[in-house]
Structure 1
Amino acid sequence: MFAVCLRYCKDKTEAEDCLQEGFIKVFNNIDKYGFKGSFEGWVRRIMVNTVIEMFRKKQPELLVDEFPVLTDGEDEEVYDASFTHDELMAMVQELPPKYKLVFNLYVLEGFSHAEIAQTAGISVGTSKSNLARARQWLKKSVENRLLEKKQAVC
C-alpha cells in the first residue's frame, strides 16, 4: 500500500503520512468491509481516496492553464528506446501534482473521467485536460531523456 501512496505523493514523507492516515481509516471502518471483492482492493481504494483527500486540502483550486500544451501533430516522431519501469515511474513522479493525480487515477487505477471528477472535486473537462497535459508533459520528458541518452552515446 505504501507504493500506492508513493505513486501519488511528492516524496516519501508525504506518502508515509497518507499511508498512516489510510490505515487509520481502514481500522476505523473494518466493520464496513462487506466481503464483496478482495480485501486488498478495498484497502487500496481507501488509500487512493485518502491521497485524494489530502491533495484536495493542499490544493483547493486546481488551475488548468499553468503549463503549455502541445497541439496534435507536433513532434510526431517515433523513438526506438527502452526505459525501465523505475525510469518511467520517475518521470510520472515529476509530473505537477494535479496532472499526476489524474494520470495515476486514469491510467494506473482505471478510473473514468467522471469518477475522477467526482472523487477529486473537479469537472470532467478538467480531468480530460489534465490527462492530456500529463501525457504531453511525459512525452516531453521522454524526448528529453532520449536526447540525453543519445548525447551520452556520442
Structure 2
Amino acid sequence: MLIRQTILAHMEWFSINNENTAELPDEEILRRSQTKPWLYEILVNRYQTAFLRKAIGIIRDEEDAQEIVQDTFTKIYVNANSFTPHAGAKFSSWAYRILLNTTFTYYQKKLKQGQRFMVFDPDFEQLVADKSVFDEEEVRDAVERILARLPGHFAFVLRLHYLEHWSHKDIAEKTGEQVGTIKARIHRAKNAFRKESNTKEIELIL
C-alpha cells in the first residue's frame, strides 16, 4: 500500500510539473482541478496563508480561523462551476468573497453565543453592512429546504451543529457516538448540502 501511494504521489507530482501548472493563472487551475483534483492543492498553497491571516484578523481565534479556511476551500471547489471567468472577474476576488461570507457565518455564531469583539477590517465591515439588508428568515428557510432534501442522518447533524449551535461533543453525547465519527459525518453532510443546493440557494447562503 505504501509503495502504491508513493508511486501515485510521484505520478501526480510529475503531472503537475510536466504541465507547468504552477505557472498557470488561478482560473485555469480551478478549471483543470475539476477533472484533476490533485491540482487544487496549488490553489490551496497559494491562498491558505493569506486566508488564515484574514480570518484570524476578524475572528481572533486561530482554531476557528482554520476551520473557516477549510470550509472556504471546500466551498470554492464544490462550487467551482458557479465561477464564470470574464473580463474583470478574477478568481481571487470571488474566492475572498466566499472567505468573507464563511467568516460572517462564524461571526454571527459567536455573537449569538454572547461573544463581542472589535473588527478592524474594512472589507468585513462592508460585508456586515450589506448582509444587514437580507432577511435572516429567508436564509434560514433556504437552509431548511435544502436540509429537507438530504438523508435524515445528514440533516440531523447539520441542524444541530449549525442551526442550534451544538458542539461536536454535545452531538456525540446525544447520539452515543465518538466525536471523531460526528466530525466526519458533518464533513460529509456539508458536501452533500452543497451538492444539493441550486444556484439561487448558493448565492443566498454563501
Shorter-chain TM-score bucket reads 0.3 to 0.5
- TM-score, normalisation: structure 2: 0.35
Which one scores higher on RCO, CA 8 angstroms, separation ≥ 6? 1
**Normalising by structure 1, what TM-score?**
0.45
Specify which structure has the higher proportion of helix: 2
